[in-house]
Structure 1
Amino acid sequence: MSLPKTEYIPDDPDLMPPARRRRARRLLAPLEIDERAIVLDQLRRRTSPSFDFFLFSAVSAVIFSLGLLLNAPALLILGAVFAPLMAPVVGLSFGTVIGSYKFFVRSLVGLAIGSLLVFLVGIAAGLLGRVWMPASLTQAYVHAELSWINFIVLTVGAIFTAATMAHHERSPAAPNIALVYTLYLPLVVAGFGLGSSAPHLFPDGLVVFAIHLAWGTLLGALTLAIVGFRPMTIVGYTLGAVVILIGLAMVVGVGAYSTTLGWFGVPLAVATYTPTATSTFTPIPPTATLTSTPLPPTLTPTPTITPTSTRTLTPTQTYTPSPIPVYARIAPDVGVLMRTGPGFDNSILYPGVMQGVLVQLLGDSQEVKGFLWVHVRVVEDGREGWILQSLLDIATPEPNW
């Protein structure tokens, strides 16, 4: 009796015949279920979080925190370079597109643990900021607000990270930097705001993180669907539809209301200004008073002539100099936000003031929660408001500046 021959399905795609291996790499509707299962299992292993993911998430968060404390953009980029591969984010997209609830939940839990580590490091940095508060939190506030630039960077990172992870011979290291920069950095900012009690950082950073995560997962799922991944069962389409609807609702909902809009839609043009100091001198012309008192001669029996002439000249010159106006220019590259009063609790006066714009100091200053605010007037449009002193470059000398 002869047994039926069974086809040998290799566990390693590299052991496949060349034609089948090429079809698996293209991932365009594999013809055989066994071949597709091998490719799916391979991608499932690549997108599963590991110990290195959690370790380097914490390392990246520490570097991000240093960048916020020192207000150094270079350290923020370095933190994104040291970050791990955002495999759980691609895992969310992968679980969505193939309809695997189990894998979706596993990726979500892994991402939640990594995000919690990042958030806790941000809180620790914020507590340190209570003792040693940086002179400027420009970078923190920039990444606690939504912007078109960050959405473009996130879009590029999510699409190319998902596409490169679908092919094991390609490295997603480069696009992963963009993905980390737009996901982990707002999360560190939120933790920093909670620890330092700096306003408008928490929960604004969490809102930005949630919106970016929903948008990145949606783009990753669409990318994997384009390259050929599909749900293995009809029921699997339900998970994908739910995730897509939630992602779209979160992104569109921001257009209605959000405390994180900030510079959203405001052009970040850089204006070049050359500050000049002008002093006002008001001279009063001198006044001369000439008094001449001649005395008429008096005739007496003895002829005597007594002429008396008194000449008095009193010049008076008075200088009344006006106070020298003090000017400063906006220092940050992204400009600043001017508020109606000293302190972050006051309303923002839109639009913001761009870099290099000249402002006049009106003499009022007030310290609120460790930050020194100064009252200024924008020279080009006459608006008045309050700005952090650390964000200004003085153009004319002022005592104790």
Structure 2
Amino acid sequence: MSLPASEPIPLPEEELPPARRRRLRRMVIPEHHDEQSAFLDDLGERTTPGAEFFLSALLAGLVTGIALMLDSPALVVLAALLAPFMAPVLGMGVAGVAGSTGFLLRSLVSALIGGLIFFLTGTLTGIPARLFVLNGWVQLSYLLRLDGFSLLLLSLGTVFSTVLLARSTHQRPLVSSVAMAYALFLPLGAAGYGLTSGVPLPWYNGMVVFLIGLAVAALLGAITLVILGLRPLNGLSYLFTGAYMTIVVTALVIWLSGGIPTIQLPEMTPAQLPQAPAQVSAGSQPSPTPAELSATPSVSPTVTLTATATPTRTLIPTNTPTMTVTPQPTPVWARINVKGSNGAVIRAEPGYNAAIVKSLLNGIIVEVLSDVATADGATWVKIRTADGVEGWIVRNLLATATPAPGW
């Protein structure tokens, strides 16, 4: 005679319905030992990304590339708003507390796939950017830069998102997730755009910013959950959290020691700007004109004949050196004046596909040389910067007081 069991005997996993098996594999802790385990499993389910995560990443990545092409801060903000909810990044913090290797790998892979979508869309939008005159790369330099403000924005977004996710079981903290997306995914889009657009900035900085930010977010998410009262469940919890902390501390040491290159827009100090020709004040001697400089002073030799009883001697004139002053053309100065943008680039040869030599902001003074060429339907002139760099620029992007010779 068999006695009824006091508790139902769980079925083996292979005998469960397909939907039940899939949910069991997604669970952070398959067997709920206490209330905390059930709560962590609920957090894991809410931080598991769905198809909308990857679709939103695709849309936001395209907007990011267009924003960088137009150098538009408004479109950068729009891209951050369209970015997906940073569920897998928050899930890495949950996996750190729960000590679940499987859930950590799923969250990490999902975050990397989302970042890869941003990177690939950035590379696609960077290719056509080589065919046009760029408006500038102020927004690109901001996204590729690792600084304290970006880390602060990411830290606040992670802490608030984790707290709101743990306190509310029905709503996602979308507002604070925008700050996380701006500091994590948009730099990857900037890295892809910088790789294919030819902009002379270290595009790989975007990948460094993403990896460091990912470790910072996972560490802060796990610490926030511990502060909220969720204790680490096993030894893997301490191992994962320690790994997060090691990566963050190592990256910060490298950053503070100058190992990560800093990005700055090219600027010129007032001392580097060319000085305008000095004006002639009243009472002073005017500068000689080119015609006066070209005059060649000469001394005519004198021959003296003396009639005496003695033999006549003729003085042989000596050669007088002739001084010739070659007049130099008056340099023509111009300033960068690009309407609707903050600067322009100069290239090694005439043409939009030529290599970029340097970027110049609006208002910078340059010397216009005599070389003029026509390429790609535009008139190009050769210029020289204050630090001696020469290159070609579209003539319409310069403003001069008087037209240069040959214009």
Matched, 1:220 2:221: yes
Task: Note if contact 1:140-1:201 (Cα within 8 Å) is conserved in structure 2.
Answer: no
> Do residues 239 (structure 1) and 240 (structure 2) align?
yes
> How far off its partner does 1:90 sit?
0.6
2:385 to 367, 376, 394: 376
C-alpha distance in 1 between matches for 2:110 and 2:385: 49
Q: Look up the match of 1:153.
A: 153
Q: 1:141 to 1:284 in 2, by over 3 A?
A: same
Q: Secondary structure at the match of 1:174?
A: helix
Kindly provide the amino acid, as one letter, of the partner of residue 208 in structure 1. V
Where does residue 79 of structure 1 map in the other structure?
79
Cα offset, 1:215, TM superposition: 2.0
* Counterpart-to-counterpart distance in 2, 1:85 and 1:388: 45
Residue of structure 1 in register with 2:334 after alignment: 326
Match of 1:178 in 2: 179
Partner of 1:94: 94
Whether contact under 8 Å (2:366, 2:383) holds in the other structure is: yes
**CA deviations over 1:316-335 (Å, ceiling 9, x no partner):** xxxx9965643458999999
8 Å CA contact 1:326–1:397 kept in 2: the answer is no
Once the 2 structures are TM-superposed, how far is the Cα of residue 75 of structure 1 from its aligned partner?
Answer: 0.5
1:326 aligned counterpart, secondary structure: strand
**What is the 5 A alignment of 1:23-38?**
34-38=34-38
Please say if residues 98 and 232 of structure 1, whose CA atoms lie closer than 8 Å, have aligned partners that are also in contact: yes
Measured after TM superposition, the shift of residue 106 of structure 1 is 0.7
1:345 Cα offset (Å): 7.2
| Structure 2 counterpart of 1:363, one-letter code | V
> Deviations for 1:187-240, whole angstroms, at most 9, x for unmatched residues?
011111222343324322212222222222222222222112222123431121
The residue correspondences of 1:2-81 to structure 2 (distance < 5 A) are 34-81=34-81
2:86, 2:177 within 8 Å by CA — same for their partners in 1? yes
Cα displacement (A) at 1:184: 1.2
What is the CA–CA distance in structure 2 between the aligned matches of 1:387 and 1:217, rounded to whole Å? Answer: 47
Contact 1:277 1:327 in 2 (8 A): no
Over the matched positions of the two proteins, sequence identity in percent amounts to 27
Secondary structure at the aligned position of 1:254 is classed as helix
Match in the other structure for 2:139: 139
RMSD: 4.6
Distance, in Å, in 2 between the alignment partners of 1:92 and 1:101 is: 10
Letter in 2 for 1:227: L
Taking structure 1 as the reference length, the TM-score comes to 0.65
| Alpha-carbon distance change, 86 to 325 in structure 1, aligned in 2, over 3 angstroms | same
Relative to structure 1, the CA distance from residue 57 to residue 333 in structure 2 (aligned partners, 3 Å threshold; closer, same or farther) is same
Q: Is the 8 A contact 2:136 2:344 kept in 1?
A: no
Contact 1:279 1:324 in 2 (8 A): no
* Alpha-carbon distance between aligned partners in 1 of 2:202 and 2:35, rounded to the nearest angstrom: 48
Query: Whole-Å Cα distance in 2 between the matches of residues 394 and 175 of structure 1?
Result: 45
1:70 counterpart letter in structure 2:
L
Inter-CA distance 359–116: structure 2 relative to 1 (3 Å threshold)? closer
Q: Distance in 1 between matches of 2:176 and 2:391?
A: 37
- Please say if residues 192 and 201 of structure 1, whose CA atoms lie closer than 8 Å, have aligned partners that are also in contact: no
The answer (yes or no) to whether the contact 2:336–2:343 under 8 Å persists in 1 is no
Cα 1:332–1:182 shift into 2, 3 Å:
farther
Consecutive unaligned residues in structure 1, runs of 5 or more: 7-31, 286-319, 378-382
Could you list the runs of 5+ residues in structure 2 that have no partner in the other structure? 8-31, 281-285, 290-327, 347-353
The change in CA–CA distance for 1:196 and 1:40 in structure 2 (over 3 A counts) is: same
The amino acid that maps onto 2:240 is L
Residue of structure 2 equivalent to 1:360:
365
Tell me how far apart the structure 2 counterparts of residues 336 and 126 of structure 1 sit (CA, whole Å).
17
Q: For 1:332 and 1:248, how far apart are their aligned partners in 2?
A: 42
Alpha-carbon displacement from aligned partner over 1:241-277 (angstroms, at most 9, x marks no partner): 122212221232222344531249x9x9xx9xxxx99
Query: Residue by residue, what CA displacement relative to the aligned partner does 1:65-124 show, whole Å, maximum 9, x if unpaired?
Result: 110111111001001111110001111111123221111111011111111111111111
Output the amino acid matched with 2:243: V
Distance 1:336 1:70, change over 3 A: closer
Corresponding residue number in structure 1 for 2:128: 128
Cα drift, residue 42 of structure 1: 1.3
The 1-side partners of 2:110 and 2:202 are apart by 25
- Which residue pairs with 1:165 in the alignment? 165
Alpha carbons 1:337, 1:387 under 8 Å: kept:
no
> In structure 1, how many angstroms separate the alpha carbons of the residues matched to 2:158 and 2:278?
56
1:67·1:73 contact (CA, 8 Å) conserved in 2? yes
| Aligned residue number for residue 211 of structure 1 | 212
> What is residue 310 of structure 1 aligned with on the other side?
none
- Residues in 1 aligned to 2:184 and 2:381: alpha-carbon distance in whole angstroms: 31
The separation in 1 between residues aligned to 2:340 and 2:288, in whole angstroms, is 43
Return closer, same or farther for 1:146/1:111 CA change in 2, 3 Å cut-off.
same
The one-letter code matched in structure 2 to 1:326 is: A
The answer to whether the Cα contact below 8 Å between 2:191 and 2:203 also exists between their aligned partners in 1 is yes
Check whether the contact 2:141–2:264 (CA below 8 A) recurs between aligned residues. Answer: no
Match of 1:23 in 2: none
TM-score norm. by structure 2 comes to 0.64
Instruction: Give SS of 1:108's match.
Output: helix
Give the secondary structure class of the aligned counterpart of 1:143: helix
Aligned to 1:166, the other structure's residue is in SS state helix
Answer whether contact 2:219 2:241 (CA < 8 A) is retained: no
Give 1:260's aligned residue.
261
Residue 336 to residue 44, structure 1, CA distance change in 2 (3 Å): farther
Q: What residue number does 2:104 align with?
A: 104
